[in-house]
């Protein structure tokens, strides 16, 4: 039931992808429902799912009003007599088993990614990875990355395959303020889940450590990283052939070489002050340097450990990294990701996984119906509201087909 006749997939069909059996199984196999009289795991899941979609600004008060709204209860077949207060929601978010939501997220990603066709499967083994932060202005977070301004930050390192978010790591310890600490750990954790281990990770300047690149290479983790310009290296040999066309699409190829990189080794002098001595690393990497045709002053240095790619593919793969920036903007502007609903570490983790679950539903709706981000979110919510109205009409003995022409 939808007013959008050109759509191939409806909201009702997508909601059918929510693993009901898994929700019930996890409710019994985990401790998610211990000590809870009303807000069982399944109800919290549906409450957050609906609230993230249907509210421009999300808060614990909003969650309270939503749970007590008969329309919400009707669509998910909940007991009309049950009510809750904001304080109950706050406490529940701080204590509910976050792994319950993580498992649902991973299950739904696996189910949705199975719908990729063969071309998409080969195309979307490029995993864009980057971090975004959310700050709590008043510094009320008990655990967070401290800033000089007094704010505390939570850092989210998110993986995006070009269609859907495929994973996330949450960091709140001070050492993770540096991307060279956060991103490598996030990637290594993600690789453990990748049984085929065939992805190429596309990374901006967040990782510059030669030691990290060496570790990735040792673990056979393929990557394309945008490097700082003019970083110290030793060329072993050039891969540019004589008379090779250096025009590679939007760029001009300047250098394509096998190189050794340098890393800083901490050395203590006689006064026990530490300085770093540059030492060459024996691992061989590939350095690709290009300049943009339209803006020749823009020169890009890329380091990769994939020697099978063409120089054009290296540059083109990095351009696809922009997809994750668009995704960040979408979840912050449309899915309330720019502020914190819960200030507890556990509640933050629950909200992250629920936001990514909602994002997956909307992005599959977007992909199937060939529409834009904002249009997909708007139409998804309109269809969801139609479903509620139809259910309520049916419950009162009416005929929804007389209201919604199919």
User: Is the full-model pTM beyond 0.95?
Assistant: no
The DSSP result for 150-207, as a single string, is S-EEEEEEEEE-SSSEEEEEEE-SGGGGSHHHHHHHHHHHHHHH-SS---EEEE-TT-
Give me the tens of pLDDT residue by residue for the chain, a chain 406 residues long.
456 778 888 888 888 888 777 777 776 666 666 655 667 788 889 999 999 998 888 999 999 999 998 888 888 888 888 888 999 899 889 888 898 899 999 999 988 888 887 677 666 689 999 999 988 765 677 788 887 777 889 999 999 999 999 999 999 999 999 999 999 999 999 988 776 667 899 999 999 999 999 999 999 999 999 999 989 999 999 999 988 999 999 999 999 999 999 997 767 666 666 666 788 999 999 999 999 999 989 999 999 999 999 999 999 999 999 999 999 999 999 999 988 899 899 999 999 999 999 999 999 999 999 999 999 999 999 988 888 887 767 766 666 665 555 4
- Please, which residues bridge with residue 201 across strands? 127, 223
Q: How far is CA 67 from the centre of its chain?
A: 27
CA–CA dist 330, 301 (Å, integer) = 29
Tokens of 56: 């421009």
Half-sphere exposure of 251 (CA within 13 A, CB side): 22
Residue ranges per domain, the chain? 11-102+343-402, 205-320
Rounded to an integer, what distance in angstroms lies between the CA atom of residue 33 and that of residue 48? Answer: 16
């Amino acid at each position: 039931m939808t007013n959008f006749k050109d759509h191939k997939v409806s909201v009702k069909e997508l909601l059918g992808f929510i693993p009901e059996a898994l929700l019930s199984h996890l409710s019994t196999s985990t401790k998610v429902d211990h000590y809870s009289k009303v807000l069982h795991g399944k109800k919290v899941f549906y409450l957050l799912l609906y609230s993230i979609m249907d509210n421009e600004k999300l808060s614990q008060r909003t969650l309270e009003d939503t749970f007590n709204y008969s329309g919400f209860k009707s669509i998910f077949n909940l007991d009309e007599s049950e009510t809750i207060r904001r304080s109950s929601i706050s406490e529940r978010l701080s204590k509910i088993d976050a792994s319950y939501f993580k498992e649902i997220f991973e299950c739904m990603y696996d189910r949705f990614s199975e719908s990729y066709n063969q071309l998409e499967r080969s195309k979307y083994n490029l995993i864009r990875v980057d971090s975004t932060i959310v700050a709590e202005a008043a510094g009320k977070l008990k655990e967070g990355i401290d800033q000089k301004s007094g704010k505390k930050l939570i850092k989210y390192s998110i993986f995006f395959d070009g269609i859907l978010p495929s994973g996330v790591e949450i960091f709140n310890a001070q050492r993770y303020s540096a991307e060279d600490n956060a991103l490598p750990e996030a990637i290594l954790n993600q690789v453990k889940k990748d049984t085929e281990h065939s992805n190429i990770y596309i990374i901006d300047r967040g990782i510059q450590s030669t030691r990290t690149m060496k570790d990735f290479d040792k673990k056979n983790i393929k990557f394309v990283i945008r490097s700082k310009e003019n970083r110290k290296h030793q060329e072993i040999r050039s891969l540019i052939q004589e008379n090779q066309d250096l025009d590679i699409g939007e760029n001009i190829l300047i250098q394509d070489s096998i190189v050794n990189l340098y890393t800083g080794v901490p050395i203590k002098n006689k006064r026990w002050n530490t300085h770093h001595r540059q030492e060459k690393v024996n691992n061989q990497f590939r350095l690709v340097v290009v300049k943009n045709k339209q803006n020749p002053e823009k020169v890009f240095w890329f380091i990769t450990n994939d020697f099978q790619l063409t120089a054009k593919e290296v540059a083109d793969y990095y351009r696809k990294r922009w997809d994750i920036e668009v995704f960040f903007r979408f979840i912050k502007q449309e899915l309330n990701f720019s502020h914190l609903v819960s200030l507890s570490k556990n509640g933050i983790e629950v909200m992250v996984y629920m936001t990514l679950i909602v994002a997956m539903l909307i992005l599959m709706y977007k992909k199937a119906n060939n529409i834009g981000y904002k249009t997909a979110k708007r139409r998804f919510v309109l269809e969801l509201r139609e479903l509620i109205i139809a259910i309520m009409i049916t419950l009162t003995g009416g005929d929804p087909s007389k209201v919604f022409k199919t």
